């Protein structure tokens, strides 16, 4: 397990975040080769390249869950330095302002460009912009109605923060000391991880094709991992088995994916 810096940051966690974010670029480039018409906007003629489809699906399985775990970890570090008012102010500036700007300025442009491609009679930009803010659809944006678009990740983080920040503070103040004194490397401590992950893979109603309950479990899991670093000993112990099992299951998925 990597050593922490005095301020609580760990280089390995920082590098995981950098790698996960940088991989968003090839991931979205690979989506262009997915023949699913709802996979990406504004691709006039898609070409099927099996290797690119496999690469896209591989990243899709773990990239966003990893980013939510890292976001939850960051919350643990953030609340260690701030009271509740300061924390909400910091989250608002980091998440709320970019989200508001993107939804008001950037996302309507993407929706408008998509409507130009699919509508027989091209709408005006202002018609699309007004409809964007006055109509609610399935949150995908394909119908020209309101959507967070590619900013859904920021929106979810803001929602999770507002819903759970008081729980996180309560947990830190009332439970951290007691939990730190327990034997966190015992097999009994696997149960919180199982409880966190199993509900997330169930089919709950999703928002804009992105399951909030699923990603919320990873967000909270990241917070727990940040609060109890000894849990990584459990992860290190089961990592080889998990890697082998995950590889086998992914290989099994490949034939139906490209057939």
- Global pTM value: 0.82
Q: How are the residues of the chain apportioned to helix, strand and coil, as percentages rounded to the nearest 5?
A: 70, 0, 30
pLDDT at position 7, please?
54
3-state secondary structure of 210: strand
On the question of pLDDT at 129 being above 60, the answer is yes
Rounded mean pLDDT, 228-243:
82
Q: Where are the domains of the chain?
A: 11-258
pLDDT at position 192, please?
55
CA dist., res. 73 & res. 219, Å (int): 8
**pLDDT band (50, 70, 90) for residue 9:** low
CA dist., res. 136 & res. 143, Å (int): 9
> Tokens 């696997």 identify what position?
190
On the question of pLDDT at 102 being above 90, the answer is yes
Rounded mean pLDDT, 180-198:
55
């Amino acid at each position: 397990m990597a050593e922490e810096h005095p301020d609580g940051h760990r280089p390995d966690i920082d590098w995981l975040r950098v790698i996960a974010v940088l991989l968003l670029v090839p991931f979205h480039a690979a989506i262009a080769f997915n023949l699913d018409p709802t996979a990406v906007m504004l691709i006039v003629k898609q070409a099927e390249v099996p290797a690119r489809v496999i690469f896209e699906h591989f990243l899709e399985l773990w990239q966003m869950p990893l980013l939510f775990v890292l976001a939850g970890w960051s919350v643990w570090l953030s609340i260690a330095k701030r009271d509740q008012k300061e924390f909400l102010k910091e989250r608002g500036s980091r998440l709320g302002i970019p989200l508001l700007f993107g939804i008001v300025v950037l996302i309507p442009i993407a929706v408008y460009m998509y409507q130009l491609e699919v509508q027989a009679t091209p709408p005006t930009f202002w018609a699309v912009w007004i409809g964007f803010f006055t109509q609610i659809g399935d949150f995908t944006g394909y119908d020209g109605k309101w959507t967070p678009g590619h900013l859904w990740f920021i929106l979810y983080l803001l929602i999770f923060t507002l819903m759970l920040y008081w729980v996180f503070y309560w947990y830190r103040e009332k439970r951290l000391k007691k939990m730190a004194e327990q034997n966190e490397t015992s097999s009994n401590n696997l149960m919180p991880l199982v409880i966190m992950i199993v509900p997330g893979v169930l089919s709950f109603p999703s928002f804009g094709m992105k399951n909030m309950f699923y990603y919320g479990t990873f967000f909270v899991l990241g917070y727990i991992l940040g609060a109890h670093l000894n849990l990584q000993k459990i992860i290190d112990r089961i990592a080889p088995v998990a890697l082998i099992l995950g590889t086998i299951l992914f290989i099994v998925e490949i034939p139906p994916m490209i057939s």
